[in-house]
């Protein structure tokens, strides 16, 4: 092995190793086989490029059999066709990747193979399927034809497929799994409701530009946005280990464009904002907020966990706060916070020096109890996808209705995948503004979703607004 390759993987994969990734398993070849029937559809191309994106962040030998069809979807890097886009994406993420292209579908000794579509061999290890907003993974060939215009289903299938490949190379079992992030339903309850975009929620403030924010930006780019403005606030820079889980970031963003550290790293805010056409701000939120105290946004997303961010966000008086995280047990999680109905972000997830639930991170493996938190790409991808699904459907989103305010998607793929939870308001919460102060905030500068706060509905009923 070359010193360049070894140095790249030593740095990039240190978080992957801490989360249980093993070098021998990551060296095992994986094959991605895309059928002609889906390679010419928007859904098939979205699933293909998302799966390649996620796989290249952990696996070190990827073999692809992907038709060179005309591109129909946005790509991470410039390319002329689907095959070229897949290859360019993989090498931009991992410039030392052992990437091969199969001219035939003959099996490769020692490899694991995943198929997209029906025009693929019947003896592969995993198969992906999608219908509307529902994604499906199975170890047996699937009947019927994948939905050619599926949006969230194709994205979900790619996330499930990436999780499945990672588990299989580590000799871990998986089960057939279905999930719909629009409905927040799973397995037999998962329907086919879908949304096609664009995300039209008005101005958006994204606090933090880590892995979940990067995933949200990736999915939002696929959907399109209404162009009213996204502000991305984060002072951190991209380190190589970040690219093992950040869907919009390449090795070049970390300063390793050819697999060696030869350039200045980019700011995370830049590496996320480009995908949204947003405005990056190279400051920590607690530094940025006093300079923009009079500015409100239609939607505020709390996607960071340090420097008291969750408490500061709760004190803004917003009618709705959304955020997504990953957890210690291979779960991607969506959180809703409606004032007076739910607890606030700081009460639900208190900031600590070693967060149990951080942006795309989970605790280290037990053999390394003192090492920092670590992460895997499909966890942050799933968290960002659930957040994108909610944003695509405001105010009718499933996450905004009912008493449930916390959804955990289990990506171990060996248990029922979805666990809904409820967190009531905390007595004595010192973070969330009282109702009269929230109403004053909304009256002083009205924003698009203020009516979601019950205080405004009550006031309107009494003719006070």
The tally of domains found in the chain comes to: 2
Residue 86 and residue 228 share a domain: no
Residue 174 and residue 219 share a domain: no
Neighbouring residues of 249: CB distance < 8 A, sequence distance ≥ 6: 214, 238, 242, 243, 268, 271, 272
pLDDT at 361: 46
Residue 377 and residue 311 share a domain: yes
What CATH code is carried by the domain that includes residue 414? 3.40.50.720
346 located within any domain: yes
pLDDT at 1: 52
Residue 228 and residue 150 share a domain: no
Number of other residues whose CB lies within 10 A of the CB of residue 212: 36
Average of per-residue pLDDT across 246-260: 98
Q: Show the tokens assigned to 428.
A: 């004595």
> For residue 180, what are the domain limits?
3-189
Average of per-residue pLDDT across 144-161: 96
Average of per-residue pLDDT across 345-368: 56
> pLDDT-based confidence at 363, cuts 50/70/90?
very low
CA–CA distances in Å: residue 36 to residues 33, 55, 96, 116:
10, 21, 29, 9
Residue 350 and residue 234 share a domain: yes
> pLDDT-based confidence at 457, cuts 50/70/90?
low
107 located within any domain: yes
pLDDT at 370: 34
pLDDT single digits (tens) 345-355 = 999 998 754 44
Q: Is the pLDDT of residue 356 over 50?
A: no
Measured CA to CA, the distance from residue 243 to residue 249 in angstroms comes to 6
Average of per-residue pLDDT across 370-385: 77
Per DSSP, the residues of 320-382 read -EEEEEE-TTSEEEEEEE-TTTS--HHHHS---SS-SSBTTBBPPPTT-TTSPPB--HHHHHH
More confident residue, 374 or 88: 88
458 located within any domain: no
Residue 211 and residue 141 share a domain: no
- Mean pLDDT, the chain, integer: 92
Measured CA to CA, the distance from residue 175 to residue 357 in angstroms comes to 25
Among the listed ranges 339-353, 368-382, 395-409, which one has the minimum average pLDDT value?
368-382
The answer for 426, left when phi > 0, alpha when psi is -120 to 50, beta otherwise, is beta
Q: Is the pLDDT of residue 211 over 60?
A: yes
Neighbouring residues of 350: CB distance < 8 A, sequence distance ≥ 6: 310
> pLDDT-based confidence at 359, cuts 50/70/90?
low
Measured CA to CA, the distance from residue 309 to residue 405 in angstroms comes to 20
Q: Show the tokens assigned to 370.
A: 């003192």
More confident residue, 15 or 407: 407
Q: Is the pLDDT of residue 30 over 80?
A: yes
Residue 265 and residue 152 share a domain: no
Report pTM: 0.94
State the virtual CA torsion across 363, 367, 368, 370 in degrees, nearest 10. Answer: 90
């Amino acid at each position: 092995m070359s010193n360049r390759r070894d140095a790249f993987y030593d740095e990039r994969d240190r978080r992957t190793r801490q989360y249980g990734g093993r070098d021998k398993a990551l060296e095992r070849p994986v094959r991605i086989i895309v059928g002609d029937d889906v390679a010419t559809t928007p859904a098939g191309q979205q699933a293909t490029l998302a799966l390649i994106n996620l796989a290249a962040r952990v696996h070190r030998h990827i073999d692809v059999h992907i038709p060179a069809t005309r591109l129909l979807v946005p790509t991470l890097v410039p390319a002329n066709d689907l095959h070229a886009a897949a290859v360019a994406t993989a090498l931009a993420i991992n410039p030392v990747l052992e990437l091969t292209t199969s001219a035939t579908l003959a099996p490769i000794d020692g490899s694991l193979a995943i198929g997209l579509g029906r025009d693929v061999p019947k003896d592969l290890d995993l198969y992906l399927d999608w219908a509307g907003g529902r994604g499906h993974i199975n170890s047996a060939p699937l009947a019927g034809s994948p939905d050619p215009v599926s949006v969230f289903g194709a994205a979900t299938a790619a996330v499930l497929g990436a999780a499945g490949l990672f588990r299989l190379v580590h000799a871990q079992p998986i089960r057939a799994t279905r999930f719909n992030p629009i409905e927040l339903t799973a397995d037999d309850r998962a329907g086919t409701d879908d949304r096609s975009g664009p995300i039209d929620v008005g101005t958006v403030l994204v606090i933090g530009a880590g892995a979940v924010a990067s995933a949200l930006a990736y999915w939002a780019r696929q959907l399109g946005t209404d162009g009213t403005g996204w502000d991305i606030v984060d002072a951190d820079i991209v380190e190589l280990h970040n690219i093992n889980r950040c869907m919009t970031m390449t090795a070049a963003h970390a300063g390793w464009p050819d697999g060696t550290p030869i350039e200045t790293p980019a700011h995370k805010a830049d590496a996320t904002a480009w995908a949204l056409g947003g405005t990056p701000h190279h400051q920590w939120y607690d530094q940025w907020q006093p300079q923009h105290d009079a500015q409100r946004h239609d939607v505020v997303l709390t996607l960071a966990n340090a420097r008291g961010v969750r408490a500061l966000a709760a004190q803004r008086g917003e009618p709705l706060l959304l955020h997504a995280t990953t957890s210690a047990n291979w779960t991607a999680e969506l959180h809703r916070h409606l004032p007076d109905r739910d607890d606030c972000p700081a009460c639900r997830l208190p900031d600590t020096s070693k967060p149990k639930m951080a942006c795309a991170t989970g605790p280290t493996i037990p053999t390394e109890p003192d090492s920092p938190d670590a992460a895997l790409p499909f966890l942050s991808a799933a968290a960002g996808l659930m957040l994108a699904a909610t944003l695509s459907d405001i105010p009718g989103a499933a996450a905004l209705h009912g008493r449930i305010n916390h959804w955990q998607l289990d990506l171990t793929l060996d248990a029922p995948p979805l666990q809904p939870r409820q967190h009531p308001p905390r007595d004595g919460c010192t973070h969330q503004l009282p109702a009269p102060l929230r109403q004053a905030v909304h009256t002083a500068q009205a924003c698009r979703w203020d009516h979601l706060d019950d205080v405004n509905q009550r006031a309107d009923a009494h003719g006070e607004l």
